[in-house]
Amino acid sequence: MSVLEIKDLHVSVETDQGTKQILRGVNLTINEGEIHAIMGPNGSGKSTLAYTIAGHPKYHVESGSIMLDGAEVLKMTVDARARAGLFLAMQYPVEIPGVTVTNFLRTAKTAIEGEAPPIRTWIKDVRQSMNNLRMDKTFAERNVNEGFSGGEKKRNEILQLELLKPKFAVLDETDSGLDVDALKIVSEGVNRAKANTGLGLLLITHYTRILRYIHPDFVHVFVNGRIAEQGGPELADRLEDEGYDRFLVPSNVG
């Protein structure tokens, strides 16, 4: 069984005002098949955690470790992490002009599998996944994220999640900017991916809204660069009622 294990992770970022400490000792273990929700106020470091797992060069790991099935993720390049089975659904996916969705998906799949997918089944899989996410066929020939609406970008992220079949996926505020219909479609996609591959999920969100459709096994409250409290799904309900106020004393980082 796969395990993603984050231990005492400290991360800083360079800003104009100098080095800023963002993560201050994060400990978190996710087993295959588990859904963990990380909730927290703005500026608490949730996205930093997501990008650090994926290996964004902006974030500097000062200490700690991230182990995937015993291998140190922090020593891997960004692309090696993806090939090892990690996936990050981004909050603001960038546009890649000149590269069509079809071309991009096939290139990514080939990179991750180490060989090109069999053409016939691949086309079928892509079509099926796009159908499920109510993505129009014309998406396939559009350039990646170019001119996509917010909802389309998020669907495109989940499309990749379904097709690339990672062991662990981090969803960074995938619910933000989605209306309720789009939220349902995207959530169904995530649930389908989990049902099909049994992946482990780290769901990063500010709101409890998405948790109505994707049911977490564990909820962690993230404040000031570390996990302040954890519990089961009932913790999310409590946050829904009370908000983050009781965690916000004395300060947060941003």
**Residues in the site for another protein, rule: CB under 8 A?**
54-57, 77-79, 81-83, 87-88, 90, 93-100, 103-104, 107-108, 111-112, 143, 160, 164
Cα distance from N-terminal residue to C-terminal residue, the chain: 37
Looking at the Cβ atoms of 36 and 81, the one nearer to another protein is 81
Q: Which is nearer to another protein, 57 or 250 (CB)?
A: 57
Rounded CA-CA distance 203/171 in Å is 5
Q: How far is the CB of 202 from another protein (least distance, A)?
A: 15
> CB-wise, 83 or 238, nearer to another protein?
83
Query: For residues 246 and 64, is the Cβ–Cβ distance under 8 A?
Result: no
- Asked if 6 and 209 count as a contact pair (C-beta separation under 8 A), the reply is no
Taking the complex as a whole, the smallest distance from the CB of residue 143 to another protein amounts, in Å, to 7
Question: Which helix (H) or strand (E) element contains residue 197?
Answer: helix 180-197
> In whole angstroms, what separates CA 217 from the centre of its chain?
16
C-alpha 24: how far from its chain's center?
20
Based on CB atoms, which residue is closest to another protein, 98 or 147? 98
Minimum separation from the CB atom of position 157 to another protein (A): 10
For the CB of residue 101, give the shortest distance to another protein in the complex, in Å: 11
Instruction: List the structure tokens of 69.
Output: 């099935």
- Alpha-carbon dihedral of residues 73, 3, 199, 10, nearest 10 degrees? -50
Nearer to another protein, 44 or 145 (CB): 145
Task: State the minimum distance, in angstroms, from the CB of residue 208 to another protein.
Answer: 27
251: buried, middle or exposed (CB in 10 Å: 19+, 13-18, 0-12)? Answer: exposed
